[in-house]
Amino acid sequence: MAISKKEVEHIAHLARLDLKKGELIRFQKELGEVLAYVDKLKKLKLEAIPDDHELKNVFRNDQEEKKESQNLLLDDNLINGRLRVPLVFDDET
């Protein structure tokens, strides 16, 4: 399916693209190829393909979990009120 230069310019404007002349020609060709492929897909007879699979979502039951309080989790990692983290750099650097 052919797409006009004017249509490509309009699409570029909507997408806020500043296309140069060479890019405009390239995109005109590429978009035309994409649209031609979509036309091919539209012609497929998909009714003949059996729909044997059953789609269903798998959900787990929500279960309330007892959470440790933030303070209990942090107590072992606090030094003078500051969070202790693993060493990233050696003292020698």
Report the length, in residues, of the chain.
Answer: 93
Tell me how far CA of residue 41 lies from CA of 6, 33, 46, 50, in angstroms: 25, 13, 10, 18
Residues 4-10, mean pLDDT to the nearest whole number: 94
Band of pLDDT at residue 29, cut at 50, 70 and 90: very high
| pLDDT at residue 72 greater than cutoff 70 | no
Q: In the predicted model, is pLDDT for residue 43 greater than 60?
A: yes
Average pLDDT, the chain: 84
Burial 24-38, CB ≥16 within 10 A → b, else e:
eeebbeebbeeeeee
Q: What DSSP string describes 11-45?
A: HHHHTT----HHHHHHHHHHHHHHHHHHHHHHT--
* CATH for 5-45 (1.10.20, 1.10.1740, 3.30.460, 2.60.40): 1.10.20
Residue 59 has pLDDT above 90, yes or no: no
pLDDT for 10 beyond 90: yes
Q: Is the pTM of this model over 0.85?
A: no
Amino acid at 56: K
Widest Cα–Cα separation across the chain: 72
Name the residue ranges covered by the structural domains of the chain.
5-45
